[in-house]
Structure 1
Amino acid sequence: MADIEIANEALGLTVTTTGGAIWRFFSRSSGVETPLFREPPPGPGREALKSGCFPLVPFGNRVRSNRFSFEGLEYSLEPNMDWDRHYLHGDGWTGEWQIVSHTSTEIALAFSHCDRTPYAYDAEQRFSISGPTLTTTLSVTNRGEFALPFGLGWHPYFPLTHGTTLKAAARSCWDEDSSWLPTVEHPVAADIDFARPRGLPRRWLNTVFEGWNGGAEIDWPESGISLAIDADPIFSRYLVFVSDPAFDPGYDYDFFCFEPMSHSADGHNMASGGGLVRLAPGESLIGCIRYTCHRP
């Protein structure tokens, strides 16, 4: 396990090789650090679920019943968390990444996975800062023997204050069942229509939004800071997660997740593929997201 830091006059970033996670991401001004991703707990632990953000590779979210068929073959997945019966969010967030390079303004990490069927792959992340902008890049290469559907995403946690607003227009969203998997797609409406800046509901929300144009903005009026998000076209969906104290004892509506994704939850079992991309052996998929901090 190792922590790697980069910083400039506007931003600071700490990445950990454990889970390839962003441990801290913050704005810097006159010696004051303001968190842009959720602040992690103090201490030596580096659990991805306590981090500011972790990668989703070779795809994100869940697959119904841990089974899917692709090009005439049947595949099964094994759960990777003791508290969820699904294979969740891939393997990158549970593995140890290797440092490829580290300069004053850029970090590159690599991860290889071959010990769980059916996915065998190489992944790479790059984190670079320039002025007030952090650019994150994630790629995956199929190292298996067969073509398979791949996807990419990230799982950032953002501070949630009384005045926090989110703007991220979308075409539609999914209801979910008790397994946290999508059921019915319908137009966005009511308190989860983020076409205009809107506060996050203080209730359970675990919803995939479709038809995103890659632009979003989070505002924290208490500090006057906002964060503009600009994602490559591959990230045409996002998931918003707001937990609930009944599910997560101790949760105090102090963070929410806005997760850019290249595919729908359970896209493996959708006739359309849900945005997943077929990668033949040796083929790759790559996408970038830019986070720009605006201060008063």
Structure 2
Amino acid sequence: MSDIRLETEALVVDIAPQGGLLWRVLAKMDGREVPLLRQPPEGEERDPLHAASFPLVPFGNRVRGNRFSFEGRDHELEPNMSWDRHYLHGDGWTRHWEVVERRADLVRLRLGAHRAPGTPYVYEAEQSIRVEGHMLETSLSLTNRGAEALPYGLGWHPYFPLTPGTLLRAAATDCWDEDSQWLPTVRKPVSGDMVFSTAAPLPRRWVNTLFEGWNGGAVIDWAESGLHLEIDADPLFGRYLIFVSDPAFDPGYTYDFFCFEPMSHSADAHHHADGGGLKRLAPGESLAGRVRMRWGR
């Protein structure tokens, strides 16, 4: 199925049902179309790792050892990427979403009830993408359709352009160190180049860091284009993850994009004594959250 386009006088959004992707998001400015999220490659391929953004369901990030215990039962996860030993980001980003509603300003997608391969998770999900003027709103929900309660979470994985003049403001209280498996180890107060309580540049080094204590508000400024993007996330998303790659890890990477990922839960939250933000959903119970992005000058 071809992409679905939503368009206003100030925005262009292309949506790919395969993966439930935001494939392309552009701001209309001074007769030009300027990328608000990372510009994807041309062509027919819809690789989620090249998209502007993809959804994280039934949870995001990784689980140490691909196993966890919940309410007296042990569960295992099978890796879903050839290049990662862990089950990564759920399965919503790898599946086809059905278009269940299409209007001039909104597209609603549904991922029908299914068992996520290699997991105990049986669920269905829905997302809606809505545009209005300079605003893009993404809503994501899921419902436990399995026979047992499990911990669930939501998130988004957007990629943003990174330029020499890019500044980020997103206040947080703490962040996590990580180990060689890209899993969190020690929680500590934000410090140094990890402080974004006021507008600050992104480090030009490997960053794969989960931040705690976020109030859901963030601002990205691009000095070169004069673009200003405000992010407003529901209280469910009390954490975010920043990813900046490294040429040693990703040959050809030139510090041209970064990820700012609103998350309902911590990385490896399945092993946090307090659940790390994951929500216990009994059969039939649901979880939902919304993120808005609005651009200006």
* TM-score > 0.5 by shorter chain: yes
RMSD across aligned positions (CA)? 0.8
Deviation of the 1:31 alpha carbon = 2.9
Q: Which secondary structure state, in structure 1, belongs to the residue aligned with residue 248 of structure 2? A: coil
Correspondences of 1:192-231 after superposition (within 5 Å): 192-231=194-233
How high is the TM-score relative to the length of structure 1?
Answer: 0.98
Aligned counterparts of 1:146 and 1:289: Cα–Cα separation in 2: 29
Whether the 8 Å contact between 1:9 and 1:29 is mirrored in structure 2 is no
Q: Spell out structure 1 runs of 4+ moving beyond 6 A.
A: none
Whether the 8 Å contact between 2:58 and 2:153 is mirrored in structure 1 is yes
Q: Which secondary structure state, in structure 1, belongs to the residue aligned with residue 18 of structure 2? A: coil
Aligned to 2:165: 163
Aligned to 1:111: 111
Name the stretch that deviates more: 23-32 or 232-241: 23-32
Aligned to 1:26: 26
Report whether the alignment pairs 1:174 with 2:176: yes
Distance 1:115 1:186, change over 3 A: closer
Q: Deviations over 1:219-239 (max 9, x none)?
A: 001111110000000000000
Aligned to 2:15: 15
Aligned counterparts of 2:54 and 2:45: Cα–Cα separation in 1: 15
Whether the 8 Å contact between 1:166 and 1:200 is mirrored in structure 2 is yes
Aligned to 2:2: 2
Aligned to 2:39: 39
Q: Deviations over 1:234-280 (max 9, x none)?
A: 00000000000000000000000000000000000110100000000
Aligned to 2:53: 53
**How high is the sequence identity, in percent, across the aligned residues?**
62
The size of the alignment, in residue pairs, is: 295
Aligned counterparts of 2:267 and 2:2: Cα–Cα separation in 1: 31
Q: Could you tell me which amino acid in structure 2 is paired with residue 49 of structure 1?
A: L
Whether the 8 Å contact between 1:129 and 1:135 is mirrored in structure 2 is yes
Whether the 8 Å contact between 1:164 and 1:221 is mirrored in structure 2 is yes
Deviation of the 1:192 alpha carbon = 1.2
Whether the 8 Å contact between 1:2 and 1:18 is mirrored in structure 2 is no
Aligned counterparts of 2:277 and 2:158: Cα–Cα separation in 1: 20
Aligned to 1:141: 143
Deviation of the 1:30 alpha carbon = 4.0
Deviation of the 1:29 alpha carbon = 2.8
Aligned to 2:276: 274
Q: Which secondary structure state, in structure 2, belongs to the residue aligned with residue 199 of structure 1? A: coil
Unpaired runs of at least 5, structure 1? none
Q: Could you tell me which amino acid in structure 1 is paired with residue 94 of structure 2?
A: T
Q: Could you tell me which amino acid in structure 1 is paired with residue 86 of structure 2?
A: H
Deviation of the 1:134 alpha carbon = 0.5
Q: Could you tell me which amino acid in structure 2 is paired with residue 95 of structure 1?
A: R
Aligned to 2:154: 152
